[in-house]
Amino acid sequence: MAGKVRATVLRDTLISLRSILFFSVGISLVYGLLRLAGPLFMILVFDRVLPAQSEATLVSLVIILVIILTIMALLDYSRRRVLARFGAQFQERIEEHIFRSTARDTYFARSGNKPAAGLNEADGLRSFFHSGSLVAILDFMWSPVFLGVVFIISPFIGWIDVAGLALLVLINLSKVHFSKAREERHSEASDRIGDLKNTLSVSRHLIESQQMTAAFNKRWLSARRSSRDTAIEHKDFTGWFTALSSHTVLMLQYLALAAAAYLTIEGELTVGAMVAAMVLSRRIAYATERFLKQLPSIREARENWRSLDKALSAAEAPTAVLDGMAALRLSQVTVRCPLTKNKLLRNVSIDIEPGSSVQIVGGAAAGKTVFAETLIGRFAPSAGKVSIGAIELGRLSITDAARTIGYVPQHVSFVPGTIEENIAGLEDKLDRSSLVHAARVAQVHEKILSFPEGYDTRVDALGSRFSKSERHMLALARALYTKPRVLIIDEPDTSLREALSKNLKDEINGFLARGGILIMLTRIALRSYRPTRSFVLSDGSLKEMEINAKADGKVVAIQGG
């Protein structure tokens, strides 16, 4: 049953918004019907008004036509606004499903050149719904009706239109088919420009400090030339088809006029019918050409739909609420590298009771950061499970997970914005007292107040205003702000290691006394702080060790148990 629900998320969303969509379709049907007023006006003018020399009839017809055109303008504006709102509501509801995905933060996962799984596709569909593409499709729906009217006027002109439309379809389908490879080359070249822009944004300091500017400039110029050349190649090739298509429309219009004029000379058509047939033929040709030009957009929308449907196929297991402090358990957890599929963690099992502090010692590439990021949901176990109390961590909502686990990473970075925003984790309704308390505990409150703008001081992604030690303390403040049940510190620096046994000792003891869990991952065993338990992590395997200590409590050795 759950699988059925997941498979119909997009369809169910459309059904829930069907009244808006049907309303816009209904407006388009009325709009298309009123477009017949123009040809009818011409028939009446040429076949009734001019022979009768009736000025009163002409004035009446003009007034009626002006009213109809005014109504058409209002209808066209209204359907475009309605479709824009339909697209916005569709995107909003789909994003709610994406954010409720079981795998926390899956929408941050990169997929090719797309920055987000699902969000980019939802935005693309919104653009399609409110752009001219959908309007072109709705207008094209009237082309068979107009063609039927032309056949009523004259089957001969109708078949000319059919032949012209067939040629128009052939030209545009050939354009789509044969330009696909060139379009992909241009897209890849444009993506390289985008990647270089991202590199410059994220690694500007590294490029400048490591003297990579000249090499980066060469790459930029090379990528720009490639993007320019592929764009020109693509435009040159498709330009032939575009020119041929537009002139085919003109040719069809004039051929229809010539055929209608011939039939008029032969006495088979009136002048009004001749003009009406020409206008209808032109409208059919232009609507068809406009629709065919939207084929790439339609194809892109279809691909976005399929990708979005795949992203939404992730199970939406019911989230659970965690009450109070609870034990953290890893049961036979194995984690594999997403690229190589090599094991990064191997059958790791550990039970950490509330109020415990755990030290995990391991060398470089032992798996410490993988262990930490498995707990925060960045790595998904390929086997085993991670739970806190009776609840699997994957079942926690994004909000509850943020309040459950606080993380101080080895390499600290920031979101470009204010210090306040970074400590509060971008919360829009932050708790000022909790924010200041977290900064005081992390011993960065005074440093922050030393800036003229205080907590409103802006920082870049690297935290360039701060020293390495201060960046770690800011990360600690960020981790403590939510009052987590589990605090993870990955590779604490010298200042933080000393603070654990000195300035932070009372706060840490209070945290543990309330049932909190402290996990510290380090290459060198802590000598001034004695944890409840200690483990060694090597090649992804975890083994508990025995701690030997002097009478003053300082750790002097760690031995295998």
Tell me: the pLDDT tens digits for 67-79? 999 999 999 999 9
The mean pLDDT value for 279-308 works out to 88
CA-to-CA dists, residue 348 to 182, 236, 345, 381, angstroms: 50, 59, 7, 10
Q: Give 548's strand partners.
A: 557
Amino acid 319: pLDDT: 63
Which SS3 state, helix, strand or coil, does residue 141 take?
Answer: coil
Residue 395 DSSP symbol: G
Amino acid 554: pLDDT: 46
Q: Which residue has the higher pLDDT, 5 or 440?
A: 440
Amino acid 225: pLDDT: 92
> CA 269 to CA 255: how far, in whole Å?
16
Q: Which residue has the higher pLDDT, 439 or 504?
A: 439
pLDDT of 111 > 80? The answer is: no
The mean pLDDT value for 189-194 works out to 87
Tell me: the pLDDT tens digits for 84-102? 889 899 988 888 777 766 4
The mean pLDDT value for 329-350 works out to 89
CB 90 within 8 A of CB 304: no
CB 275 within 8 A of CB 262: no
Query: Considering only CA atoms, which of 415, 418, 413, 453 is closest in space to residue 435?
Result: 418
Cβ neighbours, 10 Å, residue 464:
10
CATH 3.50.40.10 fits 328-558, yes or no: no
CB 249 within 8 A of CB 289: yes
pLDDT confidence band for 455 (50 / 70 / 90): very high
Amino acid 2: pLDDT: 40
> CA 246 to CA 486: how far, in whole Å?
66
Amino acid 184: pLDDT: 87
The mean pLDDT value for 169-179 works out to 88
Query: How many whole angstroms from its chain centre is CA 437?
Result: 35
User: Any alpha helices (H) in 312-442, and if so which ranges?
Assistant: 368-375, 398-404, 419-423, 432-441
Positive or negative, the CA dihedral 510, 512, 515, 517 is positive
CA-to-CA dists, residue 131 to 35, 84, 124, 136, 242, angstroms: 21, 8, 10, 9, 21
pLDDT of 547 > 70? The answer is: no
**CATH for 143-293 (1.20.1560.10, 1.25.40.10, 3.40.50.300, 2.130.10.10):** 1.20.1560.10
CB 542 within 8 A of CB 360: yes
Reading phi first (left if > 0) and then psi (alpha if -120 to 50, else beta), residue 538 is in beta
Domain ranges, ordered by start, for the chain: 1-132+308-317, 143-293, 328-558
What is the b/e burial string over 328-337, where b = at least 16 CB atoms within 10 angstroms of the residue's CB? bbbeebebbe
What global pTM score does this model have? 0.69
What counts of helices (H) and strands (E) characterise the chain?
A: 22, 13
> CA 469 to CA 238: how far, in whole Å?
57
**Helix (H) or strand (E) segment spanning residue 22:** helix 18-34
Amino acid 104: pLDDT: 55
Lookup: tokens for 212? 């990579």
> CA 346 to CA 375: how far, in whole Å?
15
